[in-house]
Every structure is written in C-alpha cells, then in structure tokens.
C-alpha cells in the first residue's frame, strides 16, 4: 500500500501507481478510443455502512462480497462496481483499476454537459460516510495522489459523486472538507465553494 510518506509518486506506462498496493478488479473495461482523462470523482464508502476496516470494500470491488455476511450485503453483493483508487482510514492506497481503463464507479452521471463520466474520469473512494469526519492521513494521501494524477493527465476538475449524480448520490458527504484539497495542484469543480 502506498502511504502519504512514500517518495515521489508516479503513474507507470500501464496506468498503475508505482509502489502502490494493486488488487485488480474485474469491474472495468476499455475507455472509448481517443478519450482523455479530464475529471476526478471523489467518493466515500464504508461497508457495512458506518464501519471501517472490514475488508468488505475490497470484496465488493473484486466481486467477492458474501451476501450472507451482513444483512446490508444481500442488496449490493451482485453489483459490479469499482473505483480506480481506495484510500483507507490510515491513508494507505489500494489501486483496483489501471488509469488507462474505465472503472465502473460513477454510474449514471453528467459533468459539464458530458454524460457517462466513467468514460473520461478517475474514481477515488475514501473510506468514510456521510456521518463521520475523514482522517488527516486520508487528506494527506488524497492531496498527494491528486497532485500525482495532475502531473500525468490533463485534469480539468475534481468533483464529488454528488456533483455528477445529483439526487442519486450524496458522497463524499457533508463531512468532506473541500478546502483541504484546493491547494493540491488541482482545480476543484465549479460547483464547490
């Protein structure tokens, strides 16, 4: 796992964070030809809801979530989803999908008039929810990851899942402090203060 204390972060030619933990998700496919990566979408997830460190997010992203392990899992175990990156509560990062590929993270979505945000975005999941503050280590890791991605791709904005899927999604939620990433060599979505 890559942490915020890692040396200079970079993305290799295959789209993987060098030195990061890599667990490949099957929930991905090819981006449309000629599509540039211009958006980063910030998400939040905890499984079961409100619980951290269970390993269930990895199981969900790799299609191994046991629907009998928790009542909540029965309704989501069949979903085929994944983000490119997952930032754990301690700031460690796991990458599930190469940046060169399309991860299935945004669902029905629209940004600046362009639909199907999965086509042109990278998804970063933070381990968290709408009721809990995010941890300092997560903000440091996110800022460093955003700066790294900005060096490698023509990123125009960073938006929350709620911004690209309003009314359908709420993440990263009211406890995410957008001011913590404004200076992270990225442009924050115009929908954010």
Instruction: Give the contacts of 5 (CB within 8 A, at least 6 positions apart).
Output: none
Which range marks the domain in which residue 41 is found?
Answer: 21-180
Q: Within a domain: residue 190?
A: no
CATH number assigned to the domain comprising residue 81 = 3.40.80.10
Instruction: Give the integer Cα–Cα distance in Å for 178 and 68.
Output: 36
- Residue 163 in tokens: 């911004």
Q: Looking at the domain assignment, is residue 12 inside a domain?
A: no
Q: Could you read off the pLDDT of 138-160 as tens digits, one per residue?
A: 999 999 999 999 999 999 999 99
Task: Kindly report which listed range (6-15, 39-48, 68-77) carries the lowest average pLDDT score.
Answer: 6-15
158 part of a folded domain: yes
The shares of helix, strand and coil residues in the chain, as percent rounded to the nearest 5, are 20, 20, 60
Q: What are phi and psi of 119, to 5 degrees?
A: -60, -40
| Residue 58 belongs to a domain | yes
**Does the annotation count 125 as an active-site position?**
yes
Q: Scan for tokens 């928790």, then name that residue.
A: 70
* Confidence category of residue 183, pLDDT binned at 50, 70, 90: low
Q: Is residue 165 part of a domain?
A: yes
pTM exceeding the 0.85 threshold for the entire prediction: yes
180 DSSP 8-state letter: G
- On the question of pLDDT at 189 being above 80, the answer is no
Q: Which of 21, 115, 125, 136 is catalytic?
A: 125
Query: How many domains are there within the chain?
Result: 1
Rounded-to-integer distance, Cα 82 and Cα 104, Å: 5
Q: Is there a domain that residue 6 lies in?
A: no
Within its chain, how far is the Cα of 14 from the centroid? 18
Q: Which helix (H) or strand (E) holds 128?
A: none
């Amino acid at each position: 796992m890559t942490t915020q204390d890692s040396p200079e972060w970079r993305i290799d030619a295959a789209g993987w964070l060098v030195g990061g933990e890599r667990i490949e998700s099957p929930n991905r496919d090819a981006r449309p030809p000629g599509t540039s990566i211009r958006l980063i979408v910030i998400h939040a997830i905890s499984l079961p809801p409100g619980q951290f460190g269970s390993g269930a997010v990895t199981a969900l992203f790799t299609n191994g979530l046991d629907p009998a392990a928790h009542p909540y899992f029965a309704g989501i175990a069949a979903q085929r989803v994944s983000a490119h990156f997952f930032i754990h509560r301690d700031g460690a990062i796991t990458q599930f999908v190469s940046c060169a590929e399309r991860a299935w993270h945004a669902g029905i979505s629209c940004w600046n008039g362009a639909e199907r945000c999965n086509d042109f975005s990278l998804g970063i999941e933070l381990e968290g929810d709408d009721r809990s503050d995010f941890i300092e280590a997560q903000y440091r890791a996110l800022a460093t990851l955003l700066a790294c991605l900005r060096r490698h791709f023509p990123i125009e904005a960073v938006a929350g899942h709620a911004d690209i899927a309003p009314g359908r999604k709420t993440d990263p939620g009211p406890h995410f402090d957008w001011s913590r990433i404004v200076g992270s060599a990225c442009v924050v979505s115009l929908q954010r203060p």
